[in-house]
Amino acid sequence: MTTDDSAEKRLPTVSVVIPTRGRPELLRETLATIVAQDYAGELDILVVHDREDADPTLAELGRDGRTVRSLTNDGTPGLAGARNCGLRHTDGEIVASCDDDDLWHPAKIRLQVERLESDPQLLAVGAGIRLLMGDRDVDWPGQSEIVTHDRLLQNRVKELHSSTLAIRRIAFAKAGTYDEELPHGYGEDYDWLLRASRVGKVGVVTEVLADIRKDVPSWFRGKALNTADALEYMVDKHQDFADNRRGYARILGQIAYARGTAGDRRGALTYAGRALRAYPPAPHAWLGLVSTTGVDPQKVLHVARRFGRGVS
């Protein structure tokens, strides 16, 4: 008996985990774009409601090969806990994450699975994004196909947004799950990527494949001091930031900016000074200083975002 080499290879099941809280209309728009993926394999779509009741009517949005399930977070409250809950309640070989307000282009999962299948060393891949700013859209295609750990220390890498990631399930055994100790759950995807990039390859499908809404509120975007707390925790946890001058100055400048916008002038000056000593040209350090001068740093940030940038 001979093997038919032309037989179609079984495509991996992709589990899609969507944490949500209090945004049912946006969630349904998000789900519509996930169900509409042109991927020929199975999608198991799980909505994890954080600190709210599950919505069983979401199942009606599914179809053959596109099941939609809904449950309430049964673990630690917050974004990291909701993502880990999703990991426990799914079993697809690939796990894709999406926030409850973002939108996928039809080819996203197909192209990402093809990329993962083409390189067994890849643990995760992101994708180019389109930032929906409200008054204008900004395309941010992938800058390179591989993202090194050193680059992740230096730059948050927009293409590795939580709504773009497609991750081999085995990657969580190697890098660990999402850190539920991270204050306020801020930057849980970035923390995970820093760990993953130490133990394997992280890549990007450079084509723009997801729309990221920047013009709507989110339960998971904390206040300024929450951001500062989380970033200080991250600097302590990932001590190799100190080995990358630009990256170290960037994250210290972010802390300075957060503390300055929260009215903590002394803390902002302290962190901005540390950032400038690490790498004087760092724009984040100067933005941190601006936050202590009485000039509204949100206006500066708004100008930066018009060009697709920010303080990430």
Give the pLDDT confidence of 90-121 residue by residue, as tens digits.
999 999 999 999 999 999 999 999 999 999 99
Give exposure, 40-52, as e/b (b: 16+ Cβ within 10 Å).
ebbbbbbbbbbee
* 197-233 confidence digits (pLDDT tens): 999 999 999 999 999 998 766 544 447 889 999 999 9
**Which residue from 171, 203, 30, 169 is spatially nearest to 95, judged by alpha carbons?**
169
Average pLDDT, stretch 294-299?
62
Which amino acid is residue 5, in one-letter code? D
Is residue 243 predicted with pLDDT exceeding 90?
Answer: yes
Q: What's the number of CA atoms in the CB half-sphere (13 Å) around residue 73?
A: 21
| pTM, two decimal places | 0.90
The percent of residues above 90 in pLDDT, for the chain, comes to: 80
Average pLDDT, stretch 244-258?
95
Average pLDDT over the chain reads: 91
Q: Which of 124-133, 207-216, 286-295 has the lowest mean pLDDT?
A: 286-295
CATH code for the domain defined by 14-213 = 3.90.550.10
Q: At what angle do helices 245-261 and 283-290 cross, to 10 degrees?
A: 20
* 48-63 confidence digits (pLDDT tens): 999 999 999 999 999 9
| pLDDT the model gives residue 221 | 43
d(CA 194, CA 153): 7
Give exposure, 238-262, as e/b (b: 16+ Cβ within 10 Å).
beebeebbbbbbbbbbbbbbbbbbb
SS3 156: coil
Q: Which of 82-91, 155-164, 221-230 has the lowest mean pLDDT?
A: 221-230
Q: Give the H or E element holding residue 198.
A: helix 188-199
Name the percent of the chain in helix, strand, coil, to the closest 5. Answer: 45, 20, 35
Q: CA 177: distance to chain centroid? A: 14
**Which residue from 39, 50, 40, 41 is spatially nearest to 17, judged by alpha carbons?**
50
Task: For the beta carbon of residue 3, count every other beta carbon within 10 angstroms.
Answer: 6
d(CA 254, CA 30): 30
- Domain spans, the chain: 14-213, 224-306
d(CA 157, CA 144): 10
- DSSP bridge pairs for 18: 47
d(CA 210, CA 140): 10
d(CA 252, CA 285): 7
